[in-house]
Amino acid sequence: MSNLSDLINLNLSDTTDKIIAEYIWVGGSGMDMRSKARTLPGPVTDPSELPKWNYDGSSTGQAPGEDSEVILYPQAIFKDPFRRGNNILVMCDAYTPAGEPIPTNKRHAAAKVFSHPDVVAEVPWYGIEQEYTLLQKEVKWPVGWPIGGFPGPQGPYYCGIGADKSFGRDVVDSHYKACLYAGINISGINGEVMPGQWEFQVGPAVGISAADEIWVARYILERITEIAGVVVSFDPKPIPGDWNGAGAHCNYSTKTMREEGGYEIIKKAIDKLGLRHKEHIAAYGEGNERRLTGHHETADINTFLWGVANRGASIRVGRDTEKEGKGYFEDRRPASNMDPYIVTSMIAETTILWNP
C-alpha cells in the first residue's frame, strides 16, 4: 500500500509524457501569491509555447463579480522543485479579456521600461537582498522566541550558529536548494540581525528577470513554510522596538558603470535618485516608515544621503567600487514587501531614461 509521500513523489515520466504546469500570479493585495495547476501534453521550454489561462478575479480582489474573468499570460518558466521531473512553475501576469493589464499587474509597465532601447543597451544588472521573518503559525511571533516574551538583545544572531542563536535553518536551507533546482539565480543566504529573520540574495540578474526570480523565490518560500507549518512575513518592521527591520536592498549597475570611468556615472545616477527620493520612497513598500527611522542600519525616510561603506545611508557604495573606479551601488531603501517589478524598473527609469 502506497503512503502519501510515495504518491507525492511519483515520477510521471515513467508512464506519461504529460507534465504539470503550476501557473503563479500576484493577487489583489500586491503581495499575496496565487497559483493553480494544469496538465499539458508534454515538456515545455519557452513561455510562448504555453496557453493563456483564466481565473476568477472576484475571489482575489482583482475583478468585480459580474465581470470576474482575468487572463493569465505566461512570462517565465522555472523547474518545479516540488513535483520535479519535467513539471514546471510558470510566472504569469494578468490582463482583462480585452488584453489590458489589470491595475495590480506591475510587470507590464516594467517590461516597457526594460524593452526601451536605451535601457537594453545599458544591460542593467540587479542583485536583490530579500529579508524575511519566520513566524510561529498559531501566535504569529518569530520562531525561536518565547511566546509572549523576548530573546536576548541583538548581537549573537547575525550569521549565528547554534540552537540558541539560529532558528529555522531547515526551512532556509530547503529554500536555498529548491531555488537552485528551479533555475533561480540565488546567490546566497544568511541569518539576519534579528533572531528568526533571514535573507536570501538573487542575482546578478539582467533586467526584468531579476523581478521574475524574486517573485518565484518568494512563492517557493511560501510553499516550503506551508509544509513546515510556519509563516513567512515580509513586514518591514515585524517587531516594534529595538529590533532590526526587514528590507530588500537592491544592488544595481549598468554597462557604463561597470566600465572604466564608471564611478562618475554612478555618482550622476545617485544624484538623480536623490532628486526623485520622495517618488521612490512612495513606491518602495508599504509600512516602510516604520523601518526607515535612521536607526538599525537605515537612513531616515525623509533624508537622502549616500556614502562609501555606510550602512546608515540611503545609497551605499562599496569600497571596491570606489577603489576600482567602477562597479555598482546599493539602494538600501526598499522594504522587504516591495514589488520587485516596480523597484527594478523605477531605478532603471530614473538612472537611464529620466532627464532632470
Indicate the domain borders of the chain: 4-104, 117-353
Q: Tell me: pLDDT of 183 over 80.
A: yes
Q: Tell me: pLDDT of 216 over 80.
A: yes
Q: Which of 35, 239, 32, 213 is nearest to 134 (CA)?
A: 239
Q: 229: helix, coil or strand?
A: coil
Residues 152, 156, 158, 159, CA torsion sign: negative
Q: Which three cell numbers stand for residue 6?
A: 510515495
Q: Which of 265, 248, 256 is nearest to 344 (CA)?
A: 248
Assign domain 4-104 one CATH number from 3.40.830.10, 3.40.720.10, 3.40.710.10, 3.10.20.70. 3.10.20.70
Q: Which of 130, 125, 127 is nearest to 190 (CA)?
A: 130
pLDDT of residue 1: 65
Q: How far is CA 100 from CA 94, 174, 229, 253, 303, in A?
A: 9, 38, 38, 32, 37
Q: What percent of the chain has pLDDT over 70?
A: 100
Taking residues 83-90, report their average pLDDT: 96
Confidence band of 64 (pLDDT split at 50, 70, 90): confident
pLDDT of residue 95: 97
Taking residues 146-152, report their average pLDDT: 93
pLDDT of residue 123: 98
Q: Tell me: pLDDT of 8 over 90.
A: no
Query: Do 153 and 193 contact (CB within 8 A), yes or no?
Result: no
Q: Tell me: pLDDT of 185 over 80.
A: yes
pLDDT of residue 91: 98
Taking residues 163-172, report their average pLDDT: 97
pLDDT of residue 347: 98
Identity of residue 70: V
Taking residues 325-345, report their average pLDDT: 97
Query: Do 70 and 57 contact (CB within 8 A), yes or no?
Result: yes
pLDDT of residue 150: 95
Radius of gyration, alpha carbons of the chain: 21
pLDDT of residue 199: 98
Q: Which three cell numbers stand for residue 124?
A: 542593467
pLDDT of residue 9: 86
pLDDT of residue 297: 82
Q: How far apart are CA 117 and CA 136, in angstroms?
A: 47
Q: Which of 249, 187, 243, 241 is nearest to 213 (CA)?
A: 187
Specify the DSSP class assigned to residue 13: G
Query: Do 225 and 234 contact (CB within 8 A), yes or no?
Result: no
Confidence band of 328 (pLDDT split at 50, 70, 90): very high
Interior CA angle at 164 toward 161 and 169, to 5°?
A: 50
**DSSP β-ladder status, 19-26 and 88-95:** parallel
pLDDT of residue 66: 81
Q: What are phi and psi of 155, to 5 degrees?
A: 150, -60
**DSSP β-ladder status, 88-95 and 53-56:** unpaired
Q: Tell me: pLDDT of 184 over 70.
A: yes
Q: Which of 272, 286, 291 is nearest to 346 (CA)?
A: 272
- Residues in CB range of 295: below 8 A, 6 or more apart: none
Q: Tell me: pLDDT of 258 over 70.
A: yes
pLDDT of residue 182: 98
Interior CA angle at 70 toward 33 and 205, to 5°?
A: 45
CATH superfamily to which 117-353 belongs: Glutamine synthetase/guanido kinase, catalytic domain (3.30.590.10)
Q: Which of 223, 167, 163 is nearest to 192 (CA)?
A: 167
Taking residues 87-110, report their average pLDDT: 97
Q: How far apart are CA 156 and CA 11, in angstroms?
A: 44
Query: Do 89 and 215 contact (CB within 8 A), yes or no?
Result: no
Query: Do 219 and 263 contact (CB within 8 A), yes or no?
Result: no
Q: Tell me: pLDDT of 287 over 90.
A: yes
